[in-house]
A and B are shown apart, each in its own frame.
Chain A
Amino acid sequence: MIPFYNIITAFLGVCTASVIIVLIRKDKLSVNYSLWWGILAAGLIIFGLAPKLSDYIGEMLGVHYPPILIVIISICLLFIKLLFMDIHRSTHEQQIRILTERLALYEKENSKKCAQKSHSSRINRK
């Protein structure tokens, strides 16, 4: 009989997966990020339904207190995720700056052309 708290964990995994799917469906989350969150949700479901798995893996790796293995793996994954997020933010910062520079020049050229157009239409009217 699976303990109640493990059923809760598995349920949380199912909820996470459902939320991800809904967010993608509503175009609030890019499908590119679904893989990461899908793996997280799968992990919650698997370890929820098969709690002995963490003991088995922990013993294999020589971890004295196997339940901490899940915590350590989760923290490591979060660190990696945060690092990737900062890398992506840096790339976006680069792109925003380039776009701002180019936009400023386009706006200047555009306002010059508009000024020239209105000037020549005033001359034509005369």
Chain B
Amino acid sequence: MSSRHPFSQSIFENCLVVIPIWNESASIKTVVQSIKEKYTVDVLVVDDGSTDNSGDLAEDAGAEVVRLAMNMGAWTAIQTGFRYALLKGYTVVVTMDGDGQHFAESIPLLIKQLATNQADVIIGSNPERASRNRRISWAFFRMLTSFDLQDFTSGLKAYNDRAMTLLLRPRAHLFDYQDLGTLLLIRRAGLTLCEVPVPMQKRLYGSSRIFFNWWQVIRYMMLSTVLCLSKYRH
């Protein structure tokens, strides 16, 4: 643990960092090393059917790696992380992206907020990183869902065991991302959500895996709108 950081090692007890990846060989080693160099915390990389050597690179960097038999999507990879965490006795999971957007320093911040706010889920928020169009779409979803959140698509989140158990139920297995659908489910179950501002940077390599062309953006908007409308005041 770095002496520069004000957090004691004890906050990482029973904490697991889960990083879902799909073909992130260009950045995953850097991401895992940046965590391992700063903190003594367990890191689990869930390889979502990568066709490159992302999983091997993550293992070399010191992470535990679980490999899905086929590409199932980021949310299934995260749920695999939840399953692993509960099986091994972890009570807190922090999810991060494997593309280098998130800083390792945000991990203890989220864990501390989980305890301070007595929340079940903490969202690491950075609306400044979003384009104008994305911010407009978030405002639209804010209106539909009555969520008072600034960042709907952040992959940096902390979950406690109550939230993980909820999100492993069969009904949580039809979502594709850890965004609107999961947030609505969490709210419906009466769990507490909090948002915390964190710094983020642009992804180190490549482009978005979700919004990689306009058809995907339109499809995402339409499906998310239907989801919000079907679960209005849910």
Contact = CB atoms under 8 A, between A and B. Distances in A.
B68 interface: yes
A94 B173 contact: yes
B157 to A, nearest CB: 18
Given A98-B173, A100-B76, A107 B83 contact: no
A89 B22 CA distance: 25
Contacts of B206: none
A104 B170 contact: no
Contact of B69 (A90, A93, A98, A104): A104
A116 to B, nearest CB: 15
A101 interface: yes
B170 A94 contact: yes
Interface string A98-112: 101111110110000
B46 interface: yes
A103 B69 CA distance: 8
Given A100-B70, A101-B68, 9 more contacts: A93-B173, A94-B170, A96-B72, A100-B76, A100-B80, A104-B67, A104-B80, A105-B66, A107-B67
A97 interface: yes
29 contacts: A93-B173, A94-B170, A94-B173, A96-B72, A97-B72, A97-B76, A97-B79, A97-B173, A98-B170, A98-B173, A100-B70, A100-B72, A100-B76, A100-B80, A101-B76, A101-B79, A101-B80, A101-B83, A102-B83, A103-B69, A104-B46, A104-B66, A104-B67, A104-B80, A105-B84, A105-B87, A107-B67, A107-B69, A108-B66
Contacts of B69: 100, 103-104, 107
Contacts of B66: 104-105, 107-108
A96 B170 CA distance: 11
Interface string A14-46: 000000000000000000000000000000000
Nearest to A107: B67
B227 to A, nearest CB: 13
Q: Which of A90, A96, A101 has the most CB of B within 10 A?
A: A101
A90 B170 CA distance: 11
A34 to B, nearest CB: 27
Q: What 10 pairs between A and B have smallest CB-CB spacing?
A: A94-B173, A101-B80, A97-B173, A104-B66, A97-B76, A104-B68, A108-B66, A94-B170, A100-B72, A101-B83
